[in-house]
Amino acid sequence: MIEIIAPALIIGLILTAIAGPLGSFIVWGRMSYFGDTLAHSALLGVALGLFLSLDPIAGVVIVTVSVAILLSTLQKQRNISSDALLGIVAHGTLALGLVLVSLKEGVRVDLLGLLFGDLLAVTFSDALWVGGCALLLAIVTKLIWNPLLNILINSDLARAEGLAVDKIRMVYMICLALLVAIGMKVVGALLITALLIIPPAGARRLASTPEQMALLASLIGMTSIILGMLASLQWDTPAGPSIVLSACLLFSLTLTRGNQS
Amino acid sequence: MTTPIVQLDDVCLSIRGQSLLNHINMALNPGEIMTVIGPNGAGKSSLLKIVLGLYKPSSGKRRIHKRLRIGYMPQQLQIDPSLPLTVQRFLALAGNSNHQDIETALKDVNALQTMTRPIQSISGGEFQRVLLARALLRNPTLLVLDEPAQGVDLHGQQELYQLLASIRDKRQCAILMVSHDLHFVMARTDQVICLNQHVCCSGTADAVANHPEYLALFDQGIEKDFAVYTHHHDHHHNIHGDVVKDNLPAFESNTNKGCSEHHHD
């Protein structure tokens, strides 16, 4: 029993710990649709992995990082709103992924697992590379934290003050892409954005500095992992959705608290 | 002779085929105050962005003094309410400043009372002064202000101009500001540039005190902070924005659209 639960728990806790700070920027910058787009494109990554006989996760990392780079380049042109652009890329990559998977004969893909995650199928070796990735993400996030806050506040001001705005933005987007790749394992492509957004949203009312909000978001996310997995074991519900529901529950609990602006 | 802190030599700017600035020449000396005025769409913001280094000129050159350090005060700034940020933290983000520096900068702009408040909760006037404090924290040799007087009433403008004058006297930094008001500029301005894609005219401003009809409009004491800029154009713009040399029929000078073939005055 414990050897099934332990790796899942470890991966879930690592994922939500790092999703706290990275997800806070999604909430502050109103880019939840950007997270969704990365998640949708992750399915194309799985298909690519199958086609090239790579590890699916390698395919996911390649595709999400490329999409992140593509989007930050495309968003500079202004004929199409970035909202519409995200929709095109999100659904274009999703559709391409589904078509590619159907073309590959003799392969049965666990589509449900991809969409909603298959947390209990992870192993200790998964936990190892997820841990390594997360450590890297944590270091990079720490390095770009203050510059990223400055860019969020006003990119012209940040640029005038000498920051390499485009580069730092790009680094952040690549971090998000990596996080989405990890999150695929845990809650699946459809629900990963939930773990990026709900915990910071819940942390907002309790925090008075950006760092407090990021830290509280991590704690809320980690609590959701534990609650969700307990619920999943207790009532035999799917782990990913149970985790997201727990996060929603914690979020609604914070709503009862008075507003601290 | 002093070297200008920033200088534009024959700068043109066009973005996506649209010409925004034509043959701009300007020089700002250390400690000097320059006001750029002009109608909407005249390219004032583009000019600021060239000076700030955010845009690269399509042709021409931006020369900067080796001791140029810019403090920039943007026009307005929306901070999402989901970001918990106090004024103090906002100022700390400007980099390498300690608590003491932040307190001094806020005192300098008379906004010390906002220090611990969430930045989204302070008033527009306070926000503007906080932005100014942030620009000052960088210890600038050039202060760039994008329409600092916009949305501020006359009394607020007067206070702002007094503040800017005292900052210049205290820190000896040059100030470049943009104003959409075509006639009222800060009295201490050393140079006024009237911009309409090209420099229409430039010069010094006359004190409001010399214009009794303006003086009559306001309470006492305002004359030392405001000045009237008298335009002395030798051309005007027709309905298409083309330059029309004065005393000439419009159709004779209709060939000046391109940056390269723009010759007048």
pLDDT tens-digit profile of A5-15? 888 899 899 99
A112 residue type, one letter? L
Same domain, yes or no: B171 and B215:
yes
Task: Say how many C-beta atoms besides its own lie within 10 A of residue B213's C-beta.
Answer: 7
Average pLDDT over residues B244-254: 48
- Per the domain annotation, does B253 fall within a domain? no
Task: Say how many C-beta atoms besides its own lie within 10 A of residue B239's C-beta.
Answer: 7
Say what the pLDDT of residue A143 is: 95
Residue, of A206 and B196, whose pLDDT is higher: A206
Domain that holds residue B177: 6-69+140-233
The C-alpha atoms of residue B48 and residue B36 are separated, in whole angstroms, by: 9
Same domain, yes or no: B204 and B88:
no
- Candidates B85, B127, B139, partner chain A, best to mutate (most A CBs within 10 A): B85
- Per the domain annotation, does B228 fall within a domain? yes
Q: Sign of dihedral through CA atoms A195, A201, A206, A208?
A: positive
Strands of the sheet containing B184-186, edge to edge, are B184-186, B226-228, B206-207
| Ranges under pLDDT 50 in chain A | 261
B245 band by pLDDT with thresholds 50, 70 and 90:
low
The C-alpha atoms of residue B247 and residue B258 are separated, in whole angstroms, by: 23
Residues 202-261 of B with CB under 8 A from A: none
- Asked if pLDDT for residue B263 goes beyond 80, the answer is no
Say what the pLDDT of residue B208 is: 46
- Per the domain annotation, does B264 fall within a domain? no
- Per the domain annotation, does B177 fall within a domain? yes
- Residue B75 burial class via C-beta count within 10 angstroms: exposed 0-12, middle 13-18, buried 19 and up: middle
Average pLDDT of chain B is 79
**Helix (H) or strand (E) run with residue B227 in it:** strand B226-228
Strands B18-28 and B6-15: antiparallel
CATH number, domain of B216, equals 3.40.50.300
Please state the separation of Cα B225 from the chain's center in Å: 16
From first CA to last CA, the distance across chain B in angstroms is 28
**Three-state DSSP class for A182?**
helix
Say how many CB pairs under 8 Å bridge A and B.
Answer: 64
Same domain, yes or no: B161 and B175:
yes
Residues 48-87 of A with CB under 8 A from B: none
Say what the pLDDT of residue B210 is: 56
The C-alpha atoms of residue B105 and residue B101 are separated, in whole angstroms, by: 6
Say what the pLDDT of residue A245 is: 94
Tokens of B151: 């949305």
Tokens of B20: 């925004």
Say what the pLDDT of residue B209 is: 43
Please enumerate in sequence order all residues whose Cβ is within 8 A of that of B99, keeping only pairs 6 or more positions apart, or say none.
Answer: B88
- Residue A159 sits at φ, ψ, to 5 deg, of -65, -45
- Chain B residue with minimum CA distance to A27: B82
The C-alpha atoms of residue B143 and residue B70 are separated, in whole angstroms, by: 6
Of B74, B82, B120, the CB nearest to A204: B82
Same domain, yes or no: B42 and B153:
yes
Q: Which domains does chain A have, with CATH numbers?
A: 2-189 (1.10.3470.10)
Average pLDDT over residues B6-12: 89
Report how far apart, in Å, the C-alpha atoms of B9 and of each of B22, B25, B63, B141 are.
11, 5, 8, 20
- Residue B23 sits at φ, ψ, to 5 deg, of 45, 60
Same domain, yes or no: B58 and B165:
yes
Residue, of B218 and A192, whose pLDDT is higher: A192
Tokens of B28: 């700002």
- Per the domain annotation, does B257 fall within a domain? no
Nearest alpha-carbon partner for A187 in A163, A143, A221: A221
From first CA to last CA, the distance across chain A in angstroms is 45
Same domain, yes or no: B131 and B192:
no
The per-residue pLDDT for range B91-145, each reduced to its tens digit, is 999 877 788 889 988 988 888 899 899 999 888 888 888 999 999 998 899 999 9
Taking contacts as CB-CB distances below 8 angstroms, the residues of chain B near A204 are 82, 84
- Per the domain annotation, does B75 fall within a domain? no
Where residue B31 falls (left for φ over 0; alpha for ψ -120 to 50; beta otherwise) is: left
Task: Say how many C-beta atoms besides its own lie within 10 A of residue A163's C-beta.
Answer: 20
- Per the domain annotation, does B258 fall within a domain? no
Number of domains in chain B: 2
The C-alpha atoms of residue A250 and residue A257 are separated, in whole angstroms, by: 12
B251 band by pLDDT with thresholds 50, 70 and 90:
very low
B219 residue type, one letter? D
B79 touches chain A (CB under 8 A): yes
The C-alpha atoms of residue A231 and residue A162 are separated, in whole angstroms, by: 50
Cβ separation B86–A208 shorter than 8 A: yes
The C-alpha atoms of residue B83 and residue B86 are separated, in whole angstroms, by: 10
Cβ separation B80–A29 shorter than 8 A: yes
Say what the pLDDT of residue B254 is: 38
Percent of chain B with pLDDT over 90: 13
- Candidates B70, B78, B91, B93, partner chain A, best to mutate (most A CBs within 10 A): B93
Tokens 């800029």, residue? B229
Same domain, yes or no: B89 and B213:
no
The C-alpha atoms of residue B198 and residue B89 are separated, in whole angstroms, by: 40
Say what the pLDDT of residue A126 is: 83
**Three-state DSSP class for B199?**
strand
Report how far apart, in Å, the C-alpha atoms of B220 and of each of A67, B161, B208 are.
63, 16, 12
Average pLDDT over residues B215-224: 54
Same domain, yes or no: B188 and B106:
no
Say what the pLDDT of residue A223 is: 96
Say what the pLDDT of residue A175 is: 92
Say what the pLDDT of residue B236 is: 66
Tokens of B43: 């390219």
**Three-state DSSP class for B240?**
coil
Same domain, yes or no: B13 and B90:
no
**Three-state DSSP class for A189?**
coil
Chain A nearest C-alpha distance from B85 (Å) = 6
ipTM: 0.82
Strand partners, B24: B11
Nearest alpha-carbon partner for A214 in A125, A130, A152: A152
Same domain, yes or no: B52 and B176:
yes
Domain final residue pick, B139, B170, B188: B139
Say what the pLDDT of residue B216 is: 54
User: Rounded to two decimals, what is the model's pTM?
Assistant: 0.82
Same domain, yes or no: B117 and B50:
no
- Per the domain annotation, does B240 fall within a domain? no
**Residue B241: DSSP 8-state:** S
Same domain, yes or no: B168 and B227:
yes
Report how far apart, in Å, the C-alpha atoms of B242 and of each of B10, B20, B57, B251, B265 are.
19, 13, 22, 10, 14
Domain final residue pick, B139, B169, B188: B139
A261 touches chain B (CB under 8 A): yes
